[in-house]
Chains A and B, each alone.
Chain A
Amino acid sequence: MNGRAALDARYDQILRREGAALRRVAAAYEADPARREDLFQEICLAVWQALPRFRGESSERTFVFRIAHNRGLTHRSRRPANAADLREAETLADPRPGPEAEAWEEQRRERLREAVRALPLEPRQVISLTLEGLSPGEIAEVLGITENNAAVRLSRARRALRQSLDTEGAAP
């Protein structure tokens, strides 16, 4: 297999393994479905462009999540000024068909996604990485913090998420 084909195969493997996770990273940074899809494609493009420079200094998974979150932050920094402050929009419900129309499980999942998106940046990153199954050590590798710090942040993030879900659950 030549270099290009090997790269294609590796990229395909990453998409197969992490494609859904990358879509969820995009969802953690963008509430608007069209812009979210755009961000997801930007993340995929960034992974594709960065892949030839991956030298195995970290695990491939950590590498992919670092790129995805960095792209998410860049997306946030470039949001349009006239977008009626997307900080608030981030907490708005997704304008897809209302959860009432969906099954109860889907409602719960949607509530979880919204609650994660509504968290401030720091707990949002930690909790979304945890929900993807990354250990505190791997989270520390992605974010550039110590493992202890990652564990402390995770504990705070869980409390914030629990609170947010409880508040939403209590809302009429």
Chain B
Amino acid sequence: MTRTPRETGEPDDELLEWRAGWQADPEPAPEVRDLIRRRVKRRSLKMALSTAGELVTGIAMLVFVAWSALRDPTAINVGAMACLALLILWAMSFSLWYLRGTWRPRAETTSAFVALSVLRCQRRLQALRAGWWLLALELAVMIPWICLRLKAQAAAWSLLAFLTALVSVCLIAAQRRTRRELREWEEMRASLG
């Protein structure tokens, strides 16, 4: 009995026709390839510069915090600075961790990649929840610090309120984005079977 192309896994006429239509785009010309390569390298450099910028800013903040602690080594000041350092370190590591997927593209199979992405989103949400605890801890230390060391100066309160609002907005936005991504990944996992 003769087997059909579909049964043997060979492409049949219909598939060949679709394939011809699908692949009708010409290969990129050398100058286009060159342009793509240049753009890719530029994007790669931009990513490296922006990560380096974030790292340098974080390190500068840590140095300032250490300097402040050394300048006034009282328990309340050192405690407040340690809390600030913790928050900065958390923000730096979170930002690097978030970028990791962009820096190291995964070549796993699609199903493994989707499962990994779901796990990553879940871990990111855990890290963001930890961020709220860290912010609360920071406030618990900074409020008495401002009262005791800075004699409750208005400028210090304003700065604390501004920074707390900024961090809160960033945390809320990151949580919303991550929850949305998680939903999408879970939908994709379900639809990919």
Contact = CB atoms under 8 A, between A and B. Distances in A.
Interface string A155-172: 100100110000000000
Given A151-B9, A155-B6, A81 B180 contact: yes
**Interface size bucket, A side?**
35 or more
A116 B109 CA distance: 21
B110 A135 contact: no
Interface in B1-48: 6, 9, 14-15, 18-19, 21-28, 32-33, 36-37, 39-41, 43-44
Interface string A26-50: 0000000000000001001111111
A120 B86 CA distance: 45
Contacts of A151: 9
Most buried by B among A45, A49, A145: A45
B114 interface: yes
A131 B33 contact: no
Nearest to A135: B9
Interface string A48-92: 111001100000000100110111011011110100000000000
A108 B20 CA distance: 11
Contacts of A12: 33, 37
B107 A143 contact: no
Q: Chain B at the A interface: mostly helix, strand, loop or mixed?
A: helix
Given A67-B105, A73-B188, A161-B18, 17 more contacts: A12-B33, A19-B32, A20-B23, A20-B25, A24-B25, A41-B36, A41-B43, A49-B104, A49-B105, A50-B107, A53-B107, A66-B108, A74-B117, A77-B184, A122-B191, A122-B193, A144-B112
Interface of B: 6, 9, 14-15, 18-19, 21-28, 32-33, 36-37, 39-41, 43-44, 101, 103-114, 117, 180-181, 184-185, 188, 191-193
